Amino acid sequence: MIRHLVHLRFAADVTAADKAALYARLAGLSGHIEGILDFQHRENISVETPLVRGFLDMFWFDFSAVAVRDAYLEDATHQAIGADIVARLDGGADGVFVCDIAL
């Protein structure tokens, strides 16, 4: 199983409602791509502010296999959502950090 963790630094003008809409679209991928086991999103509540560097939001997907993660990365719907997220980040693509781990 692969956990795909995505940490985000949203621009200051992005509202909680904007974030919720993006996360709802991401959650919809669970019914679109077979092998997605779970989707979650959370706020970063760390008190280590200098180390957080503005990455105050995150989400993750659990994929049943590497091949499912790879299908997700190539999926046109995922890419469209990803482009919408990047457009709302502080610094564009510099406002995202991705980490995949094996579980």
Q: What is the CATH number of the domain that holds 81?
A: 3.30.70.100
Compute CA 15 distance to the chain's CA centroid, rounded to the nearest angstrom. 16
Distance CA 34, CA 86 (A): 25
pLDDT score, position 21:
98
> Could you tell me the pTM of the whole model?
0.94
Instruction: Give the 3-state secondary structure of residue 38.
Output: strand
Query: What's the number of domains the chain is made of?
Result: 1
| CB hemisphere CA count around 57 (13 angstroms) | 20
Average pLDDT, the chain: 97
pLDDT score, position 23:
98
pLDDT score, position 48:
96
Q: What is the DSSP string of 63-83?
A: ESSHHHHHHHHH-HHHHHHHH
The average pLDDT across 73-94 equals 98
Antiparallel, parallel or unpaired: β 57-63 and 2-8 = antiparallel
The average pLDDT across 46-67 equals 97
Confidence of residue 51 (pLDDT cuts 50, 70, 90): very high
pLDDT score, position 54:
96
Query: What is the extent of the structural domain holding 31?
Result: 2-102
